């Protein structure tokens, strides 16, 4: 019983000691209101304690801290590390000799430097000089408050280095991408050049394959001229012997392939019933000469326009010299050169006189006179031919009872048709019809296997 009482007494004393210590600690932790007397009878806990020796409340201190953190956080977030004094790169960024960069103060609560919307700051207080406002119990500036400015901007060197490394990595990646794109464009350019060369080569090859050669064009012209000669060509082409020669070249080639004993075309006769068709047909040895005006022994029949007295002297020279040249060819193979010179000089003078008097003549008269002088030029070329005597001795006169005989005679002697002389036009048309009829019925021989 005694032991139990002793234990109970010790417990009561311990509780009393703990209560005393709690009362002392509570008294020491209590904070009084500003400018209020200390109450001795009742102790209580201050709901708005002050911070620092100047009596700044805890809520004011927290608000100022949040504002400054937001201001400086937004400001320094947009400034690279090297602007705050930290340079992660080997080469300096700031060039010596230039003024240091001073970041501006940014106030998110209005223009100017006054924290106009601070509910805890007094009217007119400046945040740049005293972040806690005037009349708060502190000095007017942070520098003399005894605490200094606890919000000095701080640039993280590790964060700046990482950002610099990220920028370098990004720049290097962009460089590699740009380089590869440039190489790709260069390769595309080379491929385009090769493709262009291939297309150009194909185009040249296509043009060469589809462009006719000179021989193909010549053969085409021959075929076109033959078809034109077969289908009633213009009279001028008949009288100039162009159509007759186109038909003759084709028939001579066909008969040459068939041979002397081979099949030929139909029997188209010439000079039937005592006709003289072949006597009015002129042949040439291929030198361009035409002896059609020399058939009458060299006597010329002048057209009316050239009978003008202006041409008398030249006409007399030509009449005499051409007739003498024809008589010479009856016994000699060629004409004397001096005689040919006289004939050529007289012809040249007549051409010059005709051109000088063109305004005194009608178009039809001029054409008639010019055509006759051109025939005289052909006769002069025939007289110059080393085989000119063949024209006079009738060796080169057309022969044959049928068209086949005439074609064979001309092919064997290498002759061609010469243009018609005045008065021979109807006979040339008759010969053209005969050649067309013979060509239409010609049977091409088929070689035996």
Give 388-402 pLDDT, tens digit per residue. Answer: 888 888 888 898 888
Q: Is the pLDDT of residue 152 over 60?
A: no
- CA dist list (Å): 177 to 90, 181, 187, 263: 26, 6, 15, 85
Task: Report pLDDT for 388.
Answer: 87
Give 37-82 pLDDT, tens digit per residue. Answer: 444 444 445 666 666 666 667 667 677 776 666 656 665 566 666 5
Q: Is the pLDDT of residue 445 over 60?
A: no
Least confident of 82-91, 151-160, 323-332, 404-413: 82-91
HSE-CB at 427 with a 13 A cutoff on CA atoms is 19
More confident call, 172 vs 87: 172
Q: Is the pLDDT of residue 438 over 60?
A: yes
| Prediction pTM value | 0.55
Give 128-138 pLDDT, tens digit per residue. Answer: 444 444 444 44
Task: Report pLDDT for 351.
Answer: 94
Q: Phi first, then psi: what are they for 23, rounded to 5°?
A: -65, -40
Task: Report pLDDT for 393.
Answer: 86
Task: Report pLDDT for 25.
Answer: 40
Give 157-208 pLDDT, tens digit per residue. Answer: 667 778 888 888 899 899 999 999 999 999 999 999 999 999 999 999 999 9
Percent of the chain predicted with pLDDT > 70: 62
| Gap between the Cα atoms of 291 and 22, Å rounded | 162
pLDDT band, very low/low/confident/very high, at 148 (cuts 50, 70, 90): low
The closest of 439, 379, 377, 360 to 406, measured between CA atoms, is 439
Task: Report pLDDT for 296.
Answer: 84
Give 203-239 pLDDT, tens digit per residue. Answer: 999 999 999 999 999 999 999 999 999 988 999 999 9
| Gap between the Cα atoms of 162 and 57, Å rounded | 40
Q: Is the pLDDT of residue 8 over 80?
A: no
Q: Is the pLDDT of residue 300 over 50?
A: yes
Q: Is the pLDDT of residue 345 over 80?
A: yes
- Which string of DSSP letters, residue by residue, matches 285-340? -SSS---GGGTTTT-----GGGGSGGGHHHHHHHHHHHHHHHHHHTTSSS--HHHH
Q: Is the pLDDT of residue 242 over 70?
A: yes
Structure tokens at 9: 């007494």
Q: Let me know the angle formed at the C-alpha of 209 by 206 and 215, rounded to the nearest 5 degrees.
A: 150
Least confident of 86-100, 318-332, 337-351, 412-426: 86-100
Task: Report pLDDT for 4.
Answer: 47
| Gap between the Cα atoms of 342 and 336, Å rounded | 10
Task: Report pLDDT for 78.
Answer: 63
């Amino acid at each position: 019983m005694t032991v139990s009482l002793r234990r109970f007494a010790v417990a009561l004393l311990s509780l009393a000691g703990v209560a005393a210590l709690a009362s002392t600690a509570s008294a020491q932790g209590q904070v009084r209101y500003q400018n209020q007397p200390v109450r001795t009878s009742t102790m209580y806990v201050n709901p708005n304690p002050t911070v620092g020796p100047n009596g700044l409340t805890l809520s004011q201190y927290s608000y100022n801290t949040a504002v400054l953190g937001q201001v400086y956080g937004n400001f320094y977030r947009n400034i690279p590390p090297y602007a705050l004094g930290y340079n992660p790169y080997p080469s300096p960024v700031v060039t010596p000799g230039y003024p240091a960069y001073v970041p501006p103060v940014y106030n998110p609560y209005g223009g100017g430097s006054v924290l106009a919307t601070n509910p805890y700051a007094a009217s007119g207080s400046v945040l740049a000089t005293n972040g806690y406002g005037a009349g708060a119990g502190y000095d007017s500036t942070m520098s003399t408050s005894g605490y200094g400015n606890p919000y000095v901007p701080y640039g993280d060197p590790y964060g700046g280095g990482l950002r610099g490394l990220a920028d370098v990595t990004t720049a290097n990646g962009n460089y590699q991408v740009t380089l590869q794109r440039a190489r790709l464009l260069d390769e595309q350019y080379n491929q385009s050049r090769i493709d262009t060369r291939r297309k150009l080569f194909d185009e040249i090859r296509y043009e060469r394959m589809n462009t006719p050669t000179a021989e193909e064009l010549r053969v085409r012209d021959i075929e076109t001229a033959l078809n034109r000669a077969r289908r009633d060509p213009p009279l001028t082409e008949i009288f100039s012997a162009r159509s007759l020669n186109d038909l003759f070249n084709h028939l001579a080639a066909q008969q040459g392939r068939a041979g002397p004993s081979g099949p030929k075309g139909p029997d188209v006769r010439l000079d039937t019933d005592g006709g003289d068709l072949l006597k009015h047909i002129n042949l040439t040895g291929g030198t361009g000469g035409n002896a059609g005006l020399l058939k009458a022994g060299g006597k010329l029949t002048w057209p009316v326009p050239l009978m003008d007295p202006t041409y008398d002297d030249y006409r007399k020279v030509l009449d005499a010299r051409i007739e003498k040249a024809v008589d010479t060819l009856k016994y000699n193979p060629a004409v004397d050169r001096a005689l040919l010179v006289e004939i050529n000089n007289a012809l040249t003078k007549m051409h010059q006189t005709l051109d000088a008097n063109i305004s005194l003549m009608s178009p039809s008269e001029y054409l008639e006179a010019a055509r006759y002088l051109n025939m005289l030029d052909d006769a002069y070329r025939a007289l110059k031919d080393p085989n000119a005597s063949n024209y006079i001795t009738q060796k080169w006169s057309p022969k044959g009872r049928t068209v086949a005989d005439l074609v064979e005679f001309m092919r064997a002697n290498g002759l061609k048709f010469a243009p018609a002389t005045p008065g021979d036009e109807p006979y040339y048309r008759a010969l053209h019809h005969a050649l067309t009829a013979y060509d239409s019925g010609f049977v091409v021989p088929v070689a035996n296997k």
